[in-house]
Amino acid sequence: MNAEASSRYTGVAIALHWAMAALLVFMIWLGWNMEDNEARFQLHKSVGITILFLAIARLAWRFANPPPLLPEGMPGIEKTASHGVHIAFYVLMIAIPLGGWLMVSVSPFQVATVLYGVVSWPHLPFTEGLIGEDLYEFTEFFHSKGAWVIIALLALHVAGAVKHEIGAEEGVLKKMIPGLFGRSDPPALPPKGFLFAFGGSAALFAAIAASALLGSGPANPGPPPPGASGTGVQANWIVDYEKSAITFSGLHEGRKFEGVFDAWTADVAFYPEALATSQVQVSVDTRTARTGKKLYDDSLKSREWFNAPEFPQATVELGEFRQVAGGYEAAATLTLKGRPVRLPLTFTLDIDGDEARLEGAATVSRKALDLGQASDAGAQYVADEVSIEISGRATRKP
Ligand code: HEM
Ligand code: HEM
């Protein structure tokens, strides 16, 4: 018997084995218990992607640190079965999370993934043309059946480990149990390849996470120079962007969310004495919607919401101003994703010399604006009504 045959798994291999075994069992339970619970879905995706990269690291570690040999007296067929189960486990530890990632990438729902609420995770590349019910159902089938294959393999694996522990052959279980029964074994070979296994896996993870940041638009481009939108409106007011804000709020799973657009421009031609010739044109950079919660921010930019990569600009044209009790009302034409929708906007306006102060509000329907209609058309998660508030300060042009 050589030294390697009787030595134990490395501490790293043992730690990975038990941590991943616990995570896999937890993931199967979570997969079966996450219906209608977005937080659990996000946790499932986060732990699943973690398992994918741990599996890559584990395989690389195994390559650098070959495992101990099976007991010499073990029948050939059992050795083959044991190896087969191990190979199948490795295949599943990669194929199930990869399949899950493919499933969410091609899902008609196109829900964003933010790992542990922190890391924006992209959809798999080159899957845009594959989005649809058919491939989604196909991947869902394999994903859910994969869990049962893990359970079946686990039964064989545990039965094998227990049989060989209590059987006549030299035990195998003690090779995988941290330091409890293995003291009589010669020490394991010195471990190597830590950087190769964990550095490589971490670098791959970082590269994919970084790719999600590309094309996500400016984090905060700051206020634009006055008149930058070039709308042709002969503005007679200069908006003070530092003191102005366009905010929105609504309900997600019964809880209030609030957000703000960081970058927008407004060309304001407003004459209280000549409302018919007054005109306002606002241009909003949809990539700059910010709520303070990464999952919301990423969701808002995604295809079924603002589809910001394709339509980075939303515009609002205000016209048909009229005075109403306590302020003004205007007809707003909001063009989002290239589709114009008309809605009323009410606002108050206080003009003090050359300073103007505006407070406005409008309520919009997600359905009317075609927002989040793939994943939540019935407003089961996000209420259909979204409030928009506008708070503006401007000075009269000299
Ligand atoms: C080893 C890792 C994983 C395991 C063991 C696992 C297991 C499961 C299980 C047991 C279910 C329930 C299936 C059913 O309803 O019958 C499930 C559902 C789901 N998993 Fe995973 N999963 C893993 C990784 C992932 C990853 C990485 C993602 C996405 C990035 C993902 C996305 C999903 C989704 C979206 C569902 C719900 C499917 C549906 O609409 O029914 N999973 N998973
Ligand atoms: C879902 C849970 C589990 C998974 C995915 C899993 C996976 C694996 C894999 C892939 C190996 C081979 C390691 C290598 O050679 O690189 C292994 C070895 C081993 N596992 Fe598990 N395991 C799980 C649960 C368990 C449990 C519950 C036990 C305890 C009875 C156990 C006992 C062992 C033992 C004793 C070995 C060493 C076998 C040998 O050297 O031939 N495993 N496991």
Amino acid making up residue 6? S
Ligand 2 centre to CA of 335 (Å) is 57
> Which residue is closest in CA terms to ligand 2's atom 6?
21
For a mutational test of ligand 2's pocket, the pick from 85, 176, 177, i.e. the residue with the most ligand atoms closer than 8 A to its C-beta, is: 176
Ligand 2 pocket, 24 CB below 6 A? yes
Comparing C-alpha atoms, which of 217, 335, 315, 313 is closest to residue 267? 315
Ligand 2 centre to CA of 105 (Å) is 31
**pLDDT, position 216:** 57
Residue 227 pLDDT class (50, 70, 90 cuts): very low
The answer to whether the beta carbons of residues 205 and 38 sit under 8 Å apart is: no
Ligand 2 pocket, 70 CB below 6 A? yes
Comparing C-alpha atoms, which of 391, 329, 374, 395 is closest to residue 133? 374
**pLDDT, position 53:** 98
The answer to whether the beta carbons of residues 367 and 341 sit under 8 Å apart is: no
Point out the ligand 1 atom lying closest to the alpha carbon of residue 107. Answer: 35
Separation between Cα atoms, residue 113 and residue 301, nearest integer Å: 12
> Which residue is closest in CA terms to ligand 2's atom 12?
86
DSSP 197: I
Ligand 1 centre to CA of 97 (Å) is 8
The answer to whether the beta carbons of residues 122 and 211 sit under 8 Å apart is: yes
Separation between Cα atoms, residue 205 and residue 379, nearest integer Å: 34
Residue 217 pLDDT class (50, 70, 90 cuts): low
pLDDT in tens, 150-197: 999 999 999 988 887 776 556 678 888 887 554 555 556 778 999 999
- The structure tokens listed for 168 are 């006549």
pLDDT in tens, 128-149: 899 999 999 999 999 999 999 9
**pLDDT, position 2:** 38
The residue assigned the tokens 């259909």 is 384
The residue assigned the tokens 């007054």 is 278
Cα distances from 305 to residues 166, 296, 297, in angstroms, run: 59, 10, 10
Rg (CA), the chain: 30
Ligand 1 centre to CA of 44 (Å) is 7
Amino acid making up residue 43? L
> Which residue is closest in CA terms to ligand 2's atom 17?
86
Ligand 2 centre to CA of 157 (Å) is 7
Ligand 2 centre to CA of 205 (Å) is 25
What is the average per-residue pLDDT within 264-280?
Answer: 94
Whole-prediction pTM: 0.87
Comparing C-alpha atoms, which of 237, 274, 229 is closest to residue 358? 237
Q: Which domains does the chain have, with CATH numbers?
A: 3-213 (1.20.950), 237-396 (2.40.128.110)
In this structure, of 101-115, 174-188, 204-218, 358-372, the range with the lowest mean pLDDT score is 174-188
**pLDDT, position 159:** 92
Ligand 1 centre to CA of 31 (Å) is 5
**pLDDT, position 218:** 52
Q: Which residues contact 25 (CB under 8 A, 6 or more apart)?
A: none
Separation between Cα atoms, residue 211 and residue 71, nearest integer Å: 46
Point out the ligand 2 atom lying closest to the alpha carbon of residue 70. Answer: 41
What is the average per-residue pLDDT within 66-86?
Answer: 89
- The structure tokens listed for 361 are 């509000």
The pairing of beta strand 327-336 with beta strand 279-285: unpaired
Q: Per-residue pLDDT for 16 more than 50?
A: yes
pLDDT in tens, 91-100: 999 999 999 9
Ligand 2 pocket, 143 CB below 6 A? no
